[in-house]
Amino acid sequence: MTTAVYPGSFDPTTNGHLDIICRASKIVNKLIVAPLINLSKVHTFTMDERVEHLKILTAHMPNVEVKPFDGLLVNFARNNDAKIIIRGLRAVTDFEYEFQMALANRNLAPDIETLFVSTSVQHLYLSSSMVKEVAQFGGDISNMIPSQIKNLVLEKFSKVV
């Protein structure tokens, strides 16, 4: 059985994240989507909110589990019997950081492989920070985040439509 972990901030989950989740869930037996508890990063959405969004979005995917983590990713992967770390790659700007992380994780845990899933072209320039920037100024985020969580995300910016 192949288990993979897809870690991230998911602050909030975008169409780009969901695309990676859908595609990765088809190539492994079990996918653990793992929102990161990062004390040095200020998140817009609480952990409970980020987990709620992810659970709503993956409710129909039987092999996807949502499980927050903190500490070292490779330890979390090991504790969950995951041999694969999934990361999404957008433009070249992602590459250096992602490559550095993958090498660091391989150094720590040679038995765990990082697998990069390339973005779909329509999500190339989509990020959580872009969603937040557009939402806070009342812009339309309909084509950036899944419709099931749109109101929950907009509520945060007091712009429910």
Chain positions contacting ligand ADP, by CB under 6 A: 8-10, 14, 16-17, 20, 87-88, 90, 94, 119, 123, 126-128
Q: Which of 16, 9, 101, 102 is nearest to 47 (CA)?
A: 9
CB of 158 to ligand ADP, least distance (A): 23
* Least spacing, CB of residue 77 vs ligand ADP, in Å: 14
Q: Which of 73, 3, 4, 63 is nearest to 36 (CA)?
A: 73
Nearest CB to ligand ADP, comparing residues 4 and 20:
20
- Nearer Cβ to ligand ADP (130/154): 130
| Dihedral angle computed from the Cα positions of residues 147, 149, 152 and 154, in that order, rounded to the nearest 10 degrees | -40
Distance between CA atoms of residues 81 and 155, nearest Å: 37
Annotation says 67 is catalytic = no
- Half-sphere exposure of 155 toward its Cβ, with a 13 Å CA cutoff? 7
Of 1 and 92, the one with the shorter C-beta distance to ligand ADP is: 92
Amino acid code (one letter) for 54: L
105 vs 119, which CB is nearer to ligand ADP? 119
* Catalytic-residue membership of 128: yes
What is the C-alpha separation between 133 and 144, in angstroms, rounded? 12
**In the complex, least distance from residue 161 CB atom to ligand ADP, rounded to whole angstroms:** 23
List 23, 78, 83, 90, catalytic entry: 90
Query: What residues act catalytically?
Result: 17, 41, 90, 128
